[in-house]
Amino acid sequence: MSSQAWINLAYLTASMLFIVAFKLMSGPRTAVRGNYLGAAGMAIAILAACFEQPVAASVAKNGIWPLALLAAFAAAGGGIGATMARRWPMTGMPQMVALLNGFGGAASMLVAAAELTSTHTIARFGEGTAQTAAQTSLGSWTQFGIAIGLACLIGSVTLTGSLVAFAKLQELPRFKKPWDDPNRQWFNLGLGIVVVLLLWAMFSNPQPLLFLLLVLVAAALGATLTLPIGGADMPVVICLLNSYSGLAAAAAGFVIDNSVLVIAGSLVGASGLILTAIMCKAMNRSLVGVLFGGLGTTATVDADEVYAGKIKAAETEELAMVLEQADRVVIVPGYGLAVAQAQHAVRELADVLEARGTTVEYAIHPVAGRMPGHMNVLLAEADIEYEKLREMDDINPTFPETDVAIVIGANDVVNPAARTDPNSPIAGMPILDVDKAQTVIVVKRSLSPGFAGIPNPLFAADNTLMYFADGKKALIDLTAAIARD
Amino acid sequence: MPNPLLLDSITLLATTPSGEDPASTFIRLLTVFLLAMWVGFEVITKVPQRLHTPLTSGSNAISGVTVVGALVVAGSLTSGFGSLFGLLAVFLAMINVAGGFVVTHRMLEMFNPKKK
């Protein structure tokens, strides 16, 4: 067997390990093993790459130092990545994923750039067969041109799109307000047309200058597409960028004719697309609406009409008594809970209730948090058991048997108007049916509307008690009141 | 003058060993791409929503596989610029790989408190 065959076998093994890694993600215990297998697959692929002909040839010519140089850059990157991963706070997970997506996209774009530069050098100064081969691949409409163009486009868009998403999620002052210039769509359309033209030119004749232009225009487009997107839509953007980083890797795989890049890249691309679809469905928005639709809708229902005279506010002692009599309590956390850093306070409340024999569970809406599944991670960090974190479809049928539902920092995802009012902007959006519980406690600072900007009839419902307070303080007070009795 | 051995290796990279024409290479890779996409859809729809954040960060780490391509292009060291791009790509992709796997592990540990 030739050495290239062994290398390909190693790539095949790595690809299979990646698939198994995704497969094992179906449960929390097996997922740990899956993650190890994924890392093992990566190690095998990296090792195999060091035996590839170009590297081996370079080592044969220059001695060990090319490998040492590669190892140094890899170790530096790996060290930075691992340190970042160990220290990054869980609330900031979306930012970190955004940043890593950006680096991955940039790396894929650079692989294409490096390959183009070296092929050009050969085509100009090379001799014999090598030169012919290089000139062929720079000829009209080869897979080389198409792949390089796409790797460059997707990689650059991923890089700047991710950096802008990072800045927005990190709430850097300059990025707090979405870019809402009314002419932005025309600007984006103009950039888009330029990108298509450059891409067309790249397909038929990949040149370094064209590549550079495409990098610049695609980078600008990545930024201007992400800048107008509001904070609430960020989960969709994160998923989409995740998908792009995979597709960029796959495109780089087409450039250098490498199957493990294509396989791993398309797996990640598929994963990102699925999550994007789930997020859009959970937020009742179309992908086009998120990307080009601006900042959502304005209120069509008058808040005073919904709330007038129907709001019942309750004090700590009264709520403590309601909770003490409950057999089953469901807590509905929203992103407001994470902002208030109240995950541990929630667990303490659950602890005193459970000590009294009450069943406590958590109902998690798919868009609770700033990325898919984010709220689950935040609650798990507060040592809440995995089994108590229930998904929407799973817990919705149990609300009629629930004595008390506590809503903290969530609004639109518990708005019954989504079910009842066909004219509501959120009509048809899947929601948690908390209004079907015996009693609903809503912890909220004021009656301000949620992201959708619409009033919530739940607050005015007969079985709802409003608890006007800061989320964390409210939980601590309630816990203390129950513990006293 | 570049080394002949080195040039041969570039030939291998630019065409395919068996003398496959570029269109066939493209179709072969497209086949792999579409089949892997399909496998991805089948496997990932079975991941519960509770684990979607570790899924995202884990798939993020795997998208760092582009480090393989980076190593190959940087290792050949054919031109100053080319290898510089390659080395930078190795560096960035490794941040992605290490960061992704480590943070995924950290999250999964939190979902399995008994192991703490």
- Please report the beta strands in A273-353, taking only residues with DSSP state E, as ranges in sequence order: 328-333
Cα B84 to the center of its chain, rounded Å? 19
User: Cα–Cα distance between A363 and A332 in angstroms, integer?
Assistant: 5
pLDDT tens, A127-169?
677 777 777 777 666 778 889 999 999 999 999 999 999 998 8
Mean pLDDT, range A6-19, rounded to an integer: 95
User: Cα–Cα distance between A192 and A317 in angstroms, integer?
Assistant: 60
Rg of chain B over all Cα atoms, to the nearest angstrom: 19
Share of chain A above pLDDT 70, in %: 97
Instruction: Please say whether the beta carbons of A472 and A409 come within 8 A.
Output: no
User: Cα–Cα distance between A275 and A286 in angstroms, integer?
Assistant: 13
Q: What is the dihedral of CA B18, B24, B29, B32, to 10 degrees?
A: -100
**So what's the ipTM on this one?**
0.89
Mean per-residue pLDDT of chain A: 88
Instruction: Please enumerate in sequence order all residues whose Cβ is within 8 A of that of B111, keeping only pairs 6 or more positions apart, or say none.
Output: A28, A31, A376, A380, A386, B50, B51, B54
Cβ pair A81:B23 closer than 8 A: no
Whether residue A230 is predicted with pLDDT greater than 90 in this model: the reply is no
Helix (H, G, I), strand (E, B) or coil at A451: coil
Instruction: Please say whether the beta carbons of A465 and A312 come within 8 A.
Output: yes
Instruction: Please enumerate in sequence order all residues whose Cβ is within 8 A of that of A357, keeping only pairs 6 or more positions apart, or say none.
Output: A327
Mean pLDDT, range A17-35, rounded to an integer: 95
Chain B contact for A172, CB < 8 A? no
Look at residue B115 in the predicted model and tell me its pLDDT: 45
Q: What are phi and psi of A75, to 5 degrees?
A: -65, -40
Cβ pair A371:B7 closer than 8 A: no
pLDDT tens, A232-267?
788 889 999 999 999 999 999 998 889 999 999 999
Of A35, A119, A257, the CB nearest to B16: A257
Residues of chain B with pLDDT under 50: 1-2, 5-7, 9-18, 115-116
Whether residue A435 is predicted with pLDDT greater than 70 in this model: the reply is yes
Question: Measured between beta carbons, which residues in chain A are less than 8 angstroms from residue B33?
Answer: 250, 254, 262-263, 265-266
- Chain A 259-298, residues with CB within 8 Å of chain B CB atoms: 259-272, 274-275, 278
Question: Measured between beta carbons, which residues in chain A are less than 8 angstroms from residue B57?
Answer: 93, 96-97, 100
Length of chain B: 116
Q: What are the distances in angstroms from CA A223 to CA A99, A163, A219, A228?
A: 14, 8, 6, 9
Q: What are the distances in angstroms from CA B35 to CA A127, A467, B9?
A: 38, 53, 29
Chain B contact for A151, CB < 8 A? no
Any idea which residue has 């789930």 for tokens? Answer: A278
Question: Measured between beta carbons, which residues in chain A are less than 8 angstroms from residue B64?
Answer: 42, 100, 103-104, 107, 249
- Please report the beta strands in A368-484, taking only residues with DSSP state E, as ranges in sequence order: 389-391, 404-408, 439-444, 464-468
Instruction: Please enumerate in sequence order all residues whose Cβ is within 8 A of that of A266, keeping only pairs 6 or more positions apart, or say none.
Output: A246, A247, A250, B32, B33, B34, B36, B37, B40
Considering only alpha carbons, which residue of chain B is nearest residue A392?
B49
Look at residue A240 in the predicted model and tell me its pLDDT: 93
Stretch (H or E) spanning A362: strand A359-364
DSSP 8-state code for residue A138:
T
Distance from CA of A202 to the nearest CA of B (A): 16
Question: Measured between beta carbons, which residues in chain B are less than 8 angstroms from residue A75?
Answer: 94
Half-sphere exposure of residue A353, counting CA atoms within 13 Å on the CB side?
Answer: 30
Look at residue A109 in the predicted model and tell me its pLDDT: 95
Look at residue A78 in the predicted model and tell me its pLDDT: 96
User: Cα–Cα distance between A388 and A398 in angstroms, integer?
Assistant: 13
List the catalytic residues of A. 412
Look at residue A370 in the predicted model and tell me its pLDDT: 84
- Tokens for A213? 């232009």
Of B47, B62, B91, the CB nearest to A268: B62
pLDDT tens, A62-80?
888 888 889 999 999 999 9
Residue-range domain boundaries for chain B: 1-46, 49-116
Q: What is the dihedral of CA A91, B105, A373, A360, to 10 degrees?
A: -90
- Please report the beta strands in A45-101, taking only residues with DSSP state E, as ranges in sequence order: none
